[in-house]
Amino acid sequence: MTAAGIPTPAPILVGIETEYGIAIRGAASFDPVAASLLLLSHHQPAAPAGGSPSGHLAADLMLPNGARFYLDHAHPEYATPECRGPGDLVAADRAGERILDRCRALIDLGGVLPAGQRLALYKNSSDGTGNSYGCHENYLVSPATWAAVVHGEPGEASFVPFLVTRTVLCGAGKVGAENATAPAGFQLCQRADFFETLRGVQTTCRRPLLNQRDEPHARHHQRLHVITGDANLAERSTWLKVGTTSLVLALIEAGRAPSAFRLRDPLGAHRAVSRDLTLRAPLELDSGWRATALEIQRAFLAAARALVDERPVLEALRPVLAAWDDALACLDDDWTRLGDRLDWAIKRLLLERILARHGATWDDVKAWWWAIDATAELSRPAELSGDVPEARLAAAIGQPRADRVCSDMRTAGLPWAEYWRRRDLHFALRRVDLDYHEIRRTGPAPALFTRLERANAVERVIEDDEITVRVEQPPPDTRAWVRGRLVEMLAPHLVSVDWSAVVISHPSLGDAQPYRIELADPFAGKSVQSEALLSSIRRRMTQAAPAAGHHLEGDHR
Amino acid sequence: MTQPNEIARTTELAHTPSPEPRTSAANAMTDAERQRLRALLYDSVLDGATGDAETLDGARPELRDRAQDNEDYVKTFRQPGGE
């Protein structure tokens, strides 16, 4: 129990929401909002308007599997149902990939787009040109823990050092740097370039390491909104991300989280860990001491192990300890051993095959990055041999910029003779970086990660069958079960659906409508009580209209 | 290019034994053998990907087209910010 007398949620309930990148390949230009709406409109079975929290058909769907699929800003977003533990969460997250890809495949099959065009979906977190979109984790915690993390000392002294250094486990990897940050060849994390402040409620600008959004969607509990993570494809990356974070929140809940690693410059450390391909760079601590990301992770692992040993309620998370330990040991020894299980390592191995073919290094990529970026408008000639790029540069980007680029290249010792070779490598790396995140599973050319998975080159932590079940069904042990069943059963009669309430309207309700069914307890899943509620609603719907004032029995909590 | 029989062998590609949960059986391959097979597999995947960096040799027109394709593909992936 917490100090407030609220039962400690353990294992902590978790959900994850992912904004997908979207493109119409083969089109000269495209509108991401229209493309996202096209995708949503191909969800089958089509949801009625009432199934949408906003009431807008096909823009915002609550699904029978307990998830939410909607247009957020200009991206298609999939929010998993509430899940108990990292295994269920991985299955629910991957079910989202399947659902979105199924919509995409229906667009292909229907010949909706003009010939030569196809819709492509990317489970990544930035476009490589300075625009980031989110993959947010949500952890159900006690109000006391939430306040401690987002407003208090444990947030800065414990949770931030953990978040900054968990990049070594769950970064998705990317080529280059964005958002006017320091140059990089390869980074472990896609999102580190985009965090600019320590705390805040905002997510679209000046992104904070500690998000203070206060929307619990539940009585007696709070939802901790973690926005620093990358969207992951590798199951073990997602599993470790959610599993280790759940354990650290349990440590904070228990007052047992290591607090000696408060970072002197948390934002700088976040970017430094992301850029540290040696995994050995020391981070400056507020105390004047220094510690590496691996040392900090080791300290959290040791504390979590002790807590799990003492608290049987955390036993379900014990497998996370072993995997966490294994990952840190591999990183300490030889990161390539993780080339079949963590996103950044899988991607880095792939990309380093390309580097090896050309005798190039990440330092070369980093050195040329800005020059290629500044000259990207220079067109590729039909014949490369004999081309003198600098002679054509002023016509492409204007004389003042051309003069500056030429001067800077001379200063940096970058010879024009190597320009096209370096530029081709630059875009080949970025192409594979992007290809890695496409989720297409069907058709003549499945996407890169799908091929790796089918070749047994990446590790799985769940079975395909578990994903298939989550495509159709909500987790039975959270309120998502009741919500999903209500959506399935009452589709034509839904007035609105939210995470914590379903509102229905039906002739049988008489004056009682619209009738609101509360789902305030996120742990209340499939049970005798919930099945009784569903049965009573089903019975009522098949009966004649009742007398005025007759209510459905039960307020499900 | 990776030979088909070598690609077939990668279906046996062992993961470094790691803790549960996992669905693939680990085997007793050495790290070196495992890494060699993984490299072969990755090469086969890259050879089949449009991101093949062999465009750099500049000798084959279709590969040069692919370099342009890579640029176009990357440059047209501009996304609005989100969250």
- Ranges of each domain in chain A: 13-345+458-465, 356-454, 476-541
- Minimal CA separation from B57 to chain A, in Å: 8
Overall number of domains in chain B: 2
Task: Mark whether B3 and B42 lie in a shared domain.
Answer: yes
What is the separation, in whole angstroms, between the first and last Cα of chain B?
42
Task: Mark whether B17 and B42 lie in a shared domain.
Answer: yes
Residue pLDDT tens, chain A, 557 long = 443 444 444 557 999 999 999 999 999 999 999 999 999 999 987 555 445 554 445 688 999 999 999 999 899 999 999 999 999 999 999 999 999 999 999 999 999 999 999 999 999 999 999 999 999 999 999 999 999 999 999 999 999 999 999 999 999 999 999 999 999 999 999 999 999 999 999 999 999 999 999 999 998 899 999 999 999 999 999 999 999 999 999 999 999 999 999 999 999 999 999 999 999 999 999 999 999 999 999 999 999 999 999 999 999 999 999 999 999 999 999 999 999 999 999 999 999 999 998 899 999 999 999 999 999 999 999 888 888 999 999 999 999 999 999 999 999 999 999 999 999 999 999 999 999 999 999 877 788 999 888 888 888 999 999 999 999 999 999 999 999 999 999 888 888 999 999 998 888 877 777 889 999 899 999 999 999 989 988 888 777 544 443 333 334 43
Closest partner residue to B21 (CB to CB) among A133, A319, A428 is A319
Q: Is A100 exposed, middle or buried (0-12, 13-18, 19+ CB in 10 A)?
A: buried
Task: Mark whether B45 and B62 lie in a shared domain.
Answer: no
* Interchain contact A429–B (C-beta under 8 A): yes
Please give the structure tokens belonging to residue A217: 């969607």
Residues of chain A numbered 109-128 and touching chain B (CB < 8 Å): 122, 126-128
Let me know if A343 is a catalytic residue: no
CA-to-CA distance for A494 and A514, rounded, in angstroms?
9
Task: Mark whether B65 and B37 lie in a shared domain.
Answer: no
Please confirm whether the linkage preceding B21 is cis (ω < 30° from 0). Answer: yes
Which residue range(s) make up the domain with B57?
53-83
Strand-pair partners of A503? A496, A516
Closest partner residue to B42 (CB to CB) among A73, A337, A353 is A353
Interchain contact, A207 vs B11, CB within 8 Å: no
Closest partner residue to A459 (CB to CB) among B10, B22, B83 is B22
Please give the structure tokens belonging to residue B81: 């910010």
CA-to-CA distance for A462 and A91, rounded, in angstroms?
7
Strands A207-211 and A195-200: parallel
Q: Which of A31, A60, A72, A332 is catalytic?
A: A72
Task: Check: CB of residue A98 under 8 Å from CB of residue A441.
Answer: yes
**SS3 for A290?**
strand
- Minimal CA separation from A300 to chain B, in Å: 19
Closest partner residue to A380 (CB to CB) among B10, B43, B68 is B68
Across the A:B interface, residue pairs with CB atoms under 8 Å apart total: 181
Q: What is the ipTM of this complex?
A: 0.88
Closest partner residue to B51 (CB to CB) among A330, A431, A461 is A431
Task: Check: CB of residue A228 under 8 Å from CB of residue A132.
Answer: no
**Top-tier CATH class for A13-345+458-465:** alpha beta
Task: Mark whether B29 and B64 lie in a shared domain.
Answer: no
* Interchain contact A318–B (C-beta under 8 A): no
Interchain contact, B45 vs A462, CB within 8 Å: no
* Interchain contact B58–A (C-beta under 8 A): yes
Q: What are phi and psi of A404, to 5 degrees?
A: -65, -45
A452: nearest Cα among A436, A468, A431: A436
- Minimal CA separation from B42 to chain A, in Å: 6
Task: Mark whether B70 and B45 lie in a shared domain.
Answer: no
Task: Mark whether B67 and B45 lie in a shared domain.
Answer: no
Task: Check: CB of residue A211 under 8 Å from CB of residue A226.
Answer: yes
Task: Mark whether B31 and B8 lie in a shared domain.
Answer: yes
* Interchain contact A271–B (C-beta under 8 A): no
* Interchain contact A354–B (C-beta under 8 A): yes
Task: Mark whether B41 and B64 lie in a shared domain.
Answer: no
Residues of A in contact with B79 (CB under 8 A): 21-22, 32, 74-75, 126-127, 131, 133
Task: Mark whether B37 and B70 lie in a shared domain.
Answer: no
* Interchain contact A469–B (C-beta under 8 A): no
Task: Mark whether B44 and B70 lie in a shared domain.
Answer: no
Task: Mark whether B44 and B60 lie in a shared domain.
Answer: no
CA-to-CA distance for A448 and A429, rounded, in angstroms?
14
Strands (E), A240-367: 282-284, 290-292
* Interchain contact B29–A (C-beta under 8 A): no
Interchain contact, B21 vs A87, CB within 8 Å: yes
Interchain contact, B22 vs A461, CB within 8 Å: yes
